[in-house]
Structure 1
Amino acid sequence: MRCFGLVGLALSALLLPCVAQAASVRPAVARTVHEAPRSAPVRRASEAKGPYYVDFRARTAASWGHAFVWYGKTSEKAVDVAGLTPAGDEFAYMLGYVTFVPSETGASYGDLDPDYVTASYRVYLNEADAKRVFAYIKKLQADSPVWNAETANCTSFIGSIASFMGLDTPVRWTRPEEYVNKLREMNGGRQVVRLAAEQ
């Protein structure tokens, strides 16, 4: 067993009371399309940048935080949410520091609440590129049956999406808030993405 796996387990054991408290109060979250909060109005100016978007986000959580994406059409309130989290309670989270555990890839508690957001980097796409990116996100969700804190975590998940879009990405072992901010910085804050032509 790798030593940093043991360190991760020790850290997670220290965080268990916080994680257990958070898990005991969190409600069940549907894994389908959700409505964006009313406090996030659709801006007509974004239409000029592209009618579709992917928003790389980070939010607070009981431990290190969580990274995920919102994606959809700028003219619609409905958003799709994709991220990678361990399925189950705090035991699955702790076990995920030493082995692979079953995952969930939809919205998790807090993903739709703007009060929890700590970082956001939104990029816009035209319709053709959005279809390719959104299909890739769905495939990534289908192909991500497990979570592991070191190898298959939330930052590596959103990093795969960013890489597919042609963006430069930070290393996966970066805390979610720092990851999203670094992603924006590494790409010069560019707001419009054009995918390379399909081969």
Structure 2
Amino acid sequence: MTNKADRSGSCILAGFALAAMLSCTTPSASAHQANKRVADANALATTDTAARPQPQSRRSVARAEKGPYYVDFRARTAASWGHAFVWYGKTSERAVEVAGLTPAGDTLAYVLGHITFVPSETGASYGDLDPEYLTASYRVYLNEADAKRVFAYIKELQANSPVWNAETANCTGFIGDIAEFMGLEVPNRWQRPENFVNRLKEMNGGRQMVRLSAE
């Protein structure tokens, strides 16, 4: 009985130690709760790695646009494994909507989410709009009719994703559902977000235009 109590006490202490460590390295997401933020989508979204993009003229950027709407599958750094999420919106506008699956709250919810389900948030989180945190990006363009269907699906997915769990209801699974709805080939979802996004692009041959099948 004494050994069992000692082991339980050690696990509890280890959990609090992990929470304390992460709280020192994970900034609060309270400043990024809005689902719609303004950012320069064209300037940030086409890089596949964290390398600085080469300067482009206005004419070359215009030629790269394949459709009036887009979904950008993205990955960024975080205190642990990283985070996967999407930007989506209209190509000609600077307004960006962000969707992703994260635990609601700060460090404690993240720690508990590795052993049980915890309440989730599905909007922008800390770092989603900051280019210095970006590690991978795969942007896909849509026509207006398809964009309406995809954007509606994203909103529906956000409304029906009330919990987060590191193993079964995580960020790569969330954006993987969006990619699957769009008809893209989807990689194994249990991998680092950066690897997931890069593999998603590779499996689909880097295709930039997606057309949904008829309903």
TM-score bin, normalised by smaller chain: 0.7 to 0.9
Q: Is the 8 A contact 1:58 1:65 kept in 2?
A: yes
Q: Is the 8 A contact 2:76 2:135 kept in 1?
A: yes
Establish whether residue 142 from structure 1 lines up as the match of residue 145 from structure 2. Answer: no
Residue matched to 2:143: 126
**Using the alignment, how far apart are the partners of 1:165 and 1:38 within structure 2?**
20
Q: Is the 8 A contact 2:41 2:96 kept in 1?
A: no
Residue matched to 2:185: 168
Q: CA deviation at 1:170?
A: 1.0
**Using the alignment, how far apart are the partners of 2:182 and 2:19 within structure 1?**
36
Residue matched to 1:44: 62
Unaligned regions of 5+ residues in structure 2, if any?
A: 1-11, 45-57
Report the secondary structure of 2:75's partner residue: strand
Equivalent residues in 2 for 1:2-151, closer than 5 Å: 16-24=19-27, 28-37=31-40, 40=43, 43-47=61-65, 49-151=66-168
**Using the alignment, how far apart are the partners of 1:24 and 1:166 within structure 2?**
35
| TM-score normalised to structure 1 length | 0.87
Q: CA deviation at 1:140?
A: 0.2
Q: Report Cα offsets for 1:118-138 as digits up to 9, x if no partner.
A: 000000000000000000000
| TM-score normalised to structure 2 length | 0.81
The residue type paired with residue 23 of structure 2 is: A
The residue type paired with residue 76 of structure 1 is: E
Q: What percent of counterpart residues are identical?
A: 70
Q: Is the 8 A contact 1:15 1:63 kept in 2?
A: no
**Using the alignment, how far apart are the partners of 1:78 and 1:123 within structure 2?**
17
Unaligned regions of 5+ residues in structure 1, if any?
A: 1-8
Q: Is the 8 A contact 1:102 1:147 kept in 2?
A: yes
Which residue, out of 192, 196, 203, partners 1:179?
196
Q: Is the 8 A contact 1:18 1:63 kept in 2?
A: no
**Using the alignment, how far apart are the partners of 1:161 and 1:112 within structure 2?**
20
CA RMSD, Structure 1 to Structure 2 (Å): 2.2
